Structure 1
Amino acid sequence: MEFFIVAVTAFALILPVELPDKTFVATLVLSTRYPPLPVWLGVVAAFGVQCAVAVGAGTLISRLPERPVALVAAGLFLAGAIVLFRGARKSGQEREDQEQQEYAGRVQERRTGLRAAAASFVVLFTAEWGDLSQLLTAGLVASGRNPIPVFIGSWLALIVVSGAAVLLGRWLRKRVKLSLIRYVAAGICLVLAALTTVEALRA
């Protein structure tokens, strides 16, 4: 049961963080230039590697003294809440259009099959290092959560986000208020920051 709860927690944290993020925009742009299935497979593979690295980093951090690590993890969640809250206030069509143009510049010639998948892997793999979802994934593991369900939940969330971008990207951008999603994600981060701080003080 605990395994399932940790996986759901990771999924619920990462999904609203990444849905309005550049991850979604990058996958959407790629799917307009390349066939959707190779794009999705390449993006999913890139996310799998990044989640594994984040979980590995969190595991190494968790071996340090318990209270300082928990407080650092709480700080990561709090920083995530602040970043998301500020992003929600600044979000707008102009900013999203700029992000689309940025990624469109990286995607030039049309490709299919393995070449499209490889190009999608490279774009997401190089663009997403050190982003908020990786920091929060590492923070979950560092705060004492089981790394395996954290990896599963985080990766599933990114798989869902990339699938939504490929299949429903333009529809979602027109009908879903991204600022509201960012506020929800900020709230989740604040709750995790508070819980982790309480756990640290009890340690």
Structure 2
Amino acid sequence: MDLVVVALTFGAIFVVELPDKTFIATLVLSTKFRPLLVWIGVGLAFAVQTAVAVVLGKAVGLLPETVVHVGTALMFLVGAVILLRTAGSADEDEAESESEYAAKVSSDAAGAARAVATSFLVLFAAEWGDLSQLLTLSLVAKYDDPVSVFVGAWGALLTVSGLAVIVGRVLLNHVRLSVLHYVGAAVCVLMSALTIWELAS
């Protein structure tokens, strides 16, 4: 396992996922169920999705190196554009997202298994084909190190969901989602530039 790849993957996925709907969904779920059970369910959903992205990334990695690096750089640029385009409405969309996820969750659900299963299903459905999953796929193809990328990506997703469960409301009261979008976009541009530099050197 390459700790540099783990760290790069963790940083990229963390800043992209923090302003995402994952954070809001986990926050809402933790108001309905015991936070630890929510985190377990969400973590399991992320594990499955990250594993799928890693497998697909390994397949993409069979393409020529130049194609993989250019594709990865473009994917990061697309991510930056998406984050920039949604930054302006991020703060208004937050309330709408909270209402949407609250409507999907029944507060009278009983039992640990029910809480874990509900959290798993809500996040699994919400995050399929998400930007972080596409970036994970690209990073596997780029570095050809599925274990390190999996550990970094899953660790970042667990950290984001853990923050949502523990201090989600406090964080949203002090940091605007639009700011997080801009930070995420900047990191995507940086990762794209790094990928092009690696290809050129």
Same fold (TM over 0.5): yes
- Structure-2 separation of matches of 1:162 and 1:140: 21
Answering whether residue 101 of structure 2 is matched by residue 103 of structure 1, we say yes
Q: Could you state the TM-score of these two structures normalised by the residue count of structure 2?
A: 0.94
Equivalent pairs: percent with the same residue? 50
User: Cα offset for 1:201?
Assistant: 4.5
SS at match of 1:143: helix
SS at match of 2:25: helix
Q: Is the 8 A contact 1:39 1:117 kept in 2?
A: yes
Answering whether residue 119 of structure 2 is matched by residue 81 of structure 1, we say no
Q: Is the 8 A contact 1:6 1:149 kept in 2?
A: yes
- Structure-1 separation of matches of 2:180 and 2:95: 18
User: Cα offset for 1:146?
Assistant: 1.6
Q: What aligned pairs does 1:169-184 form with structure 2 within 5 A after superposition?
A: 169-184=168-183
Q: Is the 8 A contact 1:25 1:165 kept in 2?
A: yes
Q: Is the 8 A contact 1:74 1:196 kept in 2?
A: yes
Per-residue deviation, residues 17-48 of structure 1 (Å, max 9, x unmatched): 11111000000111111111111100001101
Per-residue deviation, residues 150-181 of structure 1 (Å, max 9, x unmatched): 11011111111111111111111101122222
Over aligned residues, Cα RMSD in angstroms? 1.4
SS at match of 2:88: helix
- Structure-1 separation of matches of 2:168 and 2:72: 32
Letter in 1 for 2:35: P
Q: Is the 8 A contact 2:58 2:144 kept in 1?
A: no
User: Cα offset for 1:145?
Assistant: 4.5
- Structure-1 separation of matches of 2:34 and 2:78: 37
- Structure-2 separation of matches of 1:201 and 1:61: 20
- Structure-2 separation of matches of 1:33 and 1:183: 30
Letter in 2 for 1:191: L
User: Cα offset for 1:184?
Assistant: 1.5
Q: Is the 8 A contact 1:67 1:201 kept in 2?
A: no
- Structure-2 separation of matches of 1:82 and 1:157: 21
User: Cα offset for 1:89?
Assistant: 2.5
Q: Is the 8 A contact 2:5 2:143 kept in 1?
A: no
Residue equivalent to 1:144 = 143
Q: Could you state the TM-score of these two structures normalised by the residue count of structure 1?
A: 0.93
Stretches of structure 2 lacking an aligned partner (at least 5 in a row): none
- Count of residue pairs the alignment pairs up: 200
Residue equivalent to 2:29 = 30
Answering whether residue 133 of structure 2 is matched by residue 134 of structure 1, we say yes
